[in-house]
Amino acid sequence: MVTAVFDRARRVPGSRERAGDLLFRLTISGVAGIILLAAGALAWQLARESASTWKSFGLAFLWTSTWDPVSDVFGVLPFLYGTAVSSLLALLIAVPLGVGAAIFLTELAPKRLADILMFAIELLAAVPSVILGLMGIFILVPGMRALGAPYGVGMLTAGLILAFMVLPYITTITREVLLTVPRPLKEAMYALGGTRWEVVRGVSLPYARSGIVGAVFLSLGRALGETMAVTMVIGNTPKISASLLAPGYSMAAVIANELAEAASDAHLSALVAIGLTLMVVTIVVNGAARLMLYRLGSRK
Amino acid sequence: MAATEIDMRPMSLPAESSATPKAMPIAMSVRDLRASYGAASVLKDVNLEVRERTVTAIIGPSGCGKSTLIRCLNRMHEAIPGATCDGDILLGDRNALALDPVLLRREVGMVFQRPNPFPTMTIAQNVAAGLVLNGVCDHAVLAETVEKSLRRAALWDEVKDKLDAPGVGLSGGQQQRLCIARALAVEPRVLLLDEPCSALDPIATGRIEELLLQIKDQLTVVIVTHNMQQAARVSEYTVFMLMGEMVEYGLTRQMFTKPTDKRTEDYITGRFG
Ligand SMILES: Nc1ncnc2c1ncn2[C@@H]1O[C@H](COP(=O)(O)OP(=O)(O)OP(=O)(O)O)[C@@H](O)[C@H]1O
Ligand SMILES: [Mg+2]
């Protein structure tokens, strides 16, 4: 038996293996190629469908804030603003909470409690976004109103829902990377007279930082593209307001709301142009995340 | 060569060597120390006195509790979930088990078996890490201490031009001296080393032994080692442990020439372990 294993290990790859290898490589390259092709075709299709918008407004479409389907004047800025601000608000709320929760779960909580909490958090990640939207409408909106927000719906409400939505990602990923911090490193800091908090700050967080940055960008990607929950609570008003309590609109929300009943070809084209903008924004964010992770990784 | 100098060391002690180290006051003492991991009892009534500005070696076969013993001395033992210890440990005349472990560890430093510099820090930051914990942020003070500690750890000449390079870029032996410098930077009274040379080649080991002989003028050193020659070369006192018990404790010279316990003799002459 042992010799059989050795024989197999030592066997020179014959022509049969090489053929299998080739087939495998072709299949894999084919699948990868199809994915790329599909993405390329999608972008091309979006560009083609929105060509008339780009023709009539040019790049000014990106920084005009009129959205008037009746007189066919379109600009994406209020939606771009709404998407960016609600997503950034979400991160502003979710990152400290999520990282804090992960630190608590790895460093402080007894194992049993940590396991139970982790289970609950993972469950939260599985809640469909329309349910979160309902929760927003029934709990968050009246709550905001009770706290003095004029409408209840608005940018901050959308940010809160999004924060709720990405919190599980940030917590789970951060906890996972915190668990990989080698024990000897933590012991080194303890042995120097570090407190628990100093060990977290001086050893664990720096060691885990590329993972945390990854989690943040993953969350940002999710928040930028989230449609349903945001549509339900953002207020759906294409206006840029200084107040975070005022209603706004997001790119994904306007497409979902208006695509089915687009008044004209120009309107339809403008909605597709928003779709293309959103796609570019998401790709840029993801690219930036990759680049940052790569930089952090090579520095370590 | 350097190695010969080190070999000479125990013999170069005065003939009345028993008198010289005995004169030293006691830095740490351990009384009836028991330690366990959960239900598994690992140390049984260990008694020990570590004298100031001497090197005490702890020897014994693998698994006999050497690491556990020195990890009790700076209370790293209790950082392991389920691990407990009781008995008395005195640092000078203070009860170490009643002190805040964080403060105790600033006085009782530790160097581990595998070099463990902080991977996200430069060489200088690694050495300064303990000072920064203590709230020192004056750059001049930090720079001065970094240089002094690296010199004491016999590493300065090799790294003085690349203090801002990552600590993990050094060789294993250099990393271990970096860890020693890091431990020395906070001016501990006692330095514990757990098999600090087991991952190093003989030349790197020689360097570390040399530096131990230099720093013991200023502080107390406790070193766990598997290497009998190393114990003989660097230590004044030796503790021999077997299965969680302290079998024999005395002057190194005596223990290596005429041990009182049969088991010590067997271990030293290589008959087991
Ligand atoms: N974290 C732990 N959990 C449970 N048991 C442990 C743990 N660490 C050590 N032990 C047990 O305690 C005993 C003493 O271990 P210790 O590490 O102190 O031995 P040692 O003398 O340092 O050995 P070595 O020379 O191999 O380093 C061993 O039987 C070991 O199995
Ligand atoms: Mg050990």
| pLDDT greater at residue A214 or residue B18 | A214
Question: Cα(B191) to centroid of ligand 1, in Å?
Answer: 20
Cβ of A203 and B186 within 8 Å?
no
Does residue B273 belong to any structural domain of this protein? no
User: Can you tell me the mean pLDDT for B125-150?
Assistant: 94
pLDDT tens by residue, B83-112? 999 999 999 899 999 999 999 999 999 999
Does residue B122 belong to any structural domain of this protein? yes
Is any Cβ of chain A less than 8 angstroms from the Cβ of B135?
A: no
Does residue B179 belong to any structural domain of this protein? yes
Stated pTM of the model:
0.83
User: Can you tell me the mean pLDDT for A14-25?
Assistant: 80
**Distance between CA atoms of B175 and B123, rounded to whole angstroms?**
9
pLDDT tens by residue, B50-86? 999 999 999 999 999 999 999 999 999 998 989 999 9
How many angstroms separate the Cα of B5 from the Cα of each of A115, A292, B17, B193? Answer: 57, 52, 18, 22
Chosen from B80, B105, B120 to mutate, greatest number of chain A CBs within 10 A: B120
Chosen from B80, B111, B132, B133 to mutate, greatest number of chain A CBs within 10 A: B133
User: Can you tell me the mean pLDDT for A167-188?
Assistant: 94
Cβ of B133 and A198 within 8 Å?
yes
| pLDDT greater at residue B62 or residue A2 | B62
Which helix (H) or strand (E) segment is B268 a member of?
helix B262-268
User: Can you tell me the mean pLDDT for A168-182?
Assistant: 94
Does residue B19 belong to any structural domain of this protein? no
Cβ of B118 and A188 within 8 Å?
yes
Does residue B48 belong to any structural domain of this protein? yes
pLDDT given for residue A295 in this prediction = 78
Nearest Cα residue to atom 31 of ligand 1 = B63
Does residue B17 belong to any structural domain of this protein? no
pLDDT given for residue A5 in this prediction = 46
Taking all residues of chain B, what is their mean pLDDT, rounded to a whole number?
89
* Cα-Cα-Cα-Cα dihedral sign, residues B163, B167, B169, B173: positive
How large a percentage of chain B has pLDDT more than 90?
A: 77
User: Can you tell me the mean pLDDT for A114-123?
Assistant: 93
Between chain A and chain B, how many beta carbons pairs sit less than 8 Å apart?
Answer: 65
Residue B5: pLDDT band by 50, 70, 90 thresholds? very low
Does residue B255 belong to any structural domain of this protein? yes
Is any Cβ of chain A less than 8 angstroms from the Cβ of B23?
A: no
- CA atoms within 13 Å, Cβ hemisphere of B59: 30
Residue A149: pLDDT band by 50, 70, 90 thresholds? confident
**Distance between CA atoms of A63 and A52, rounded to whole angstroms?**
17
Does residue B111 belong to any structural domain of this protein? yes
Quote the ipTM score: 0.88
Name which of B103, B114, B119 is nearest A193 (Cβ-Cβ): B103
pLDDT at A172 over 50: yes
CATH number assigned to the domain comprising residue B210: 3.40.50.300
Question: Cα(B65) to centroid of ligand 1, in Å?
Answer: 6
Contacts of A295 in chain B (CB under 8 A): none
pLDDT given for residue A214 in this prediction = 87
pLDDT given for residue A298 in this prediction = 63
Domain that holds residue B251: 3-12+24-268
Taking all residues of chain A, what is their mean pLDDT, rounded to a whole number?
90
- Number of domains comprising chain B: 1
